[in-house]
Amino acid sequence: MDASVLLALRDPAGIPFYPIVFQVLYVLTWALHIAFVLLSIGSLGLSIYGVTQQKSNPNWKLLTGHLIQTGKLSVSLLIVLGVAPLLFTQVIYDPNWYVTNTLSGMWVFIFIYALIVGYCVYYWYYYANKAKEGNGALIGATSFAFLIFCGVLMHNFAITSIMPNDWMQMYAPNGKIDMSGWTFNIEYTRLAFMVSLALPVVGIFLQAYGRFVSSRSDMSKEYVEFCENLGTKLAVIGLIISAILFVFWLNAIEYLFHPIGIVSIIGALVLLAMAGTNKNAYLTVGWLVVVALLFSTLREWLRYDIMSSLGYSIYDYTVNLEIPTIVMFLSTFLIMGGVGVAFLLTLAWKVGKTEGVFDGSKDAAVTKLGNYTLAIMSAWMVIFFGWGLMTLFKNIL
Ligand code: HEM
C-alpha cells in the first residue's frame, strides 16, 4: 500500500490536539474496555456452571446470583468504555477505521443487533434464574454465545484495520469489486489468547470478592474460602493457558523478544505469582490493571509499527489546536467523570459492605458526593447546550 493513499484518507481538517495524547488515551481506555469485556464473559460463563450446581450446593447458590449480577453490570460498562477508544482510534487512525467499516459494513450492522439481542437475553437469563434457582442455563448459554460472537466481530474489525496491504485485494478480489461488506478476517492465536484471559480475570475478581465480603457477618467463613479457592484455581490455570497462547501469538508476530513483549511476559509472571499466593487480592487487582495497560500498549505498538512501515505516522498528523474543545473535553472527563465515578464507586462499596439495606441519605460522604455530582452535571448541561447554541447561532445568523 502506497503511503499517499493512506494519507489521502486522513481528515483534511487535521486533529484538535497533539496525537500522542489521543494515543495515550486510546491505550488507557481500551485497557478498561477489555477488562470489563473479560469480566463479563468470565462471570457469565462461570455463572452458567453455577446454575447447574445451585440446587445442591449452598455456596454456588449464593455465588451464582452474584456472578450473574457482575456480568450484567460489566456488559453495560464494557459498552460505555468501548466508546472512548472508538473515538480516539477514529481520530488518529481514521483511514484504518473507516476502511474497515466499509469493507466489513454488514458485520458492523450485525454487531449492533447481536449486542442488543445478546444483552436482552442476558436480562432474560437474570430474571429466569431469579424466579427459580437452577433455571436459565440454556438462556445464559445463548447470551454467552452472542457476546462471544460480538467479540469475534470486534476482533475482525481490529485485524482488518491493520491489514492495509490487503485492503485492495479485499475490496476488489481478482480485480472484481466486492461491495457486499462481508469482509471477515481472523487471527486465531490472537483471538484465543484474548478470550482465554476471561479465566484469570474472573479468578482474580473472585479473590477480591472473597476478601471484600469477608468483613460481613452474614457471609460464612466457609463461603469466603470457597470463593477465594475457586478464584485462585481459575486464576492460576487461566494465566498458564493465556501465557502459552500469548507466547505463541508474540512469536507469530515476531514480538517475542521485543522490549514490550518481554515486559508484558514479566508482568504476567508476577501476576501469576501474586494470584497463586493470594496474599492481598486488592494488590493483585491493581497489578492486573498494570498488565492490562501493558497488553494495551503492546497492541498499539504493533499497529503503530505496521502503519509506520507503510509511511503512515500518527505523529505527522496536522494539528489544528482547538483549545476550547480540549478544555471542554478534559474538564468533562476529569471533573464530571472523576466526581461521578467517585460517587458511584463509594456508593457501590458501601452498599456491598452493608448487611441489609444501605440508606445513602444517612451517609455523609455519599450524600456529599451525590450532591456534587448533581450540581456538576447540571452546570455541565447548561454550559454544553449554551455553548453549542451560541456557536450555532454565531455561524448561521
Ligand atoms: C459484547 C460486546 C463486545 C465484546 C465481546 C468486545 C470485545 C473486544 C475485543 C476482544 C477486542 C480486541 C480485538 C483485537 O484486538 O483482536 C475489542 C476491541 C475494541 N472494542 Fe470491543 N467488544 C464489545 C463491544 C464493544 C462496543 C459496544 C464498543 C464500542 C462502543 C467496542 C469498542 C472497541 C474498540 C474501539 C476496540 C479496538 C478496535 C481497534 O483498536 O481497532 N467494543 N473488543
pLDDT tens track for 258-285:
999 999 999 999 999 999 999 999 999 9
- The β-bridge partners of 15 are 319
User: What confidence score (pLDDT) does residue 40 get?
Assistant: 98
Closest-CA residue, ligand 1 atom 10, reads 151
* Dist CA 49 CA 242 (whole Å): 21
* Dist CA 36 CA 120 (whole Å): 18
Provide mean pLDDT across the span 72-95.
Answer: 96
SS3 203: helix
User: What confidence score (pLDDT) does residue 284 get?
Assistant: 98
Q: How far is the CA of 81 from the centre of ligand 1 (A)?
A: 10
Q: Which of 337, 349, 343, 336 is nearest to 370 (CA)?
A: 343
Q: How far is the CA of 82 from the centre of ligand 1 (A)?
A: 6
Task: Among 33, 97, 298, name the best residue to mutate to test ligand 1's pocket (greatest count of ligand atoms within 8 A of Cβ).
Answer: 33
pLDDT at residue 1 is higher than 80: no
Count other C-beta atoms under 10 Å from residue 358's C-beta.
15
Above pLDDT 70, what percent of the chain?
A: 100
Q: How far is the CA of 155 from the centre of ligand 1 (A)?
A: 7
pLDDT in tens, 160-217: 999 999 999 999 999 999 999 999 999 999 999 999 999 999 999 999 999 999 999 9
Q: How far is the CA of 372 from the centre of ligand 1 (A)?
A: 32
Would you say 208 and 41 are in contact if contact means Cβ atoms under 8 Å apart?
Answer: no
Burial of 141 (0-12, 13-18, 19+ CB in 10 A): middle
pLDDT in tens, 102-157: 999 999 999 999 999 999 999 999 999 999 999 999 999 999 999 999 999 999 99
pLDDT at residue 325 is higher than 90: no
- Grid coordinates representing 288? 492486573
Closest-CA residue, ligand 1 atom 39, reads 158
Query: Which is more confident, 322 or 251?
Result: 251
pLDDT band at 35 (very low <50, low <70, confident <90, very high): very high
CA angle 106, 111, 112 (to 5 degrees): 105
Boundaries of every domain in the chain: 3-321, 324-397
Would you say 39 and 70 are in contact if contact means Cβ atoms under 8 Å apart?
Answer: yes
Looking at domain 3-321, its CATH class is mainly alpha
* Dist CA 310 CA 4 (whole Å): 10
Ligand 1 neighbours, Cβ below 6 Å, are 30, 33, 37, 78-79, 82-83, 85-86, 89, 115, 147, 150-151, 154-155, 157-159, 161, 190, 194, 299
Count other C-beta atoms under 10 Å from residue 122's C-beta.
23
Q: How far is the CA of 27 from the centre of ligand 1 (A)?
A: 13
Would you say 314 and 3 are in contact if contact means Cβ atoms under 8 Å apart?
Answer: no
* 177: alpha, beta or left? (left if phi > 0; alpha if psi -120 to 50): beta
Would you say 236 and 242 are in contact if contact means Cβ atoms under 8 Å apart?
Answer: no
* Dist CA 374 CA 330 (whole Å): 19
User: What confidence score (pLDDT) does residue 3 get?
Assistant: 87
Closest-CA residue, ligand 1 atom 43, reads 154
Exposure letters 63-76 (e unless 16+ CB within 10 A, then b) = bbbbbbebbbebbe
Q: How far is the CA of 382 from the centre of ligand 1 (A)?
A: 33
**Report field, pTM of the whole predicted structure over 0.85:** yes
Neighbouring C-alpha atoms within 13 Å toward the C-beta of 69: 9
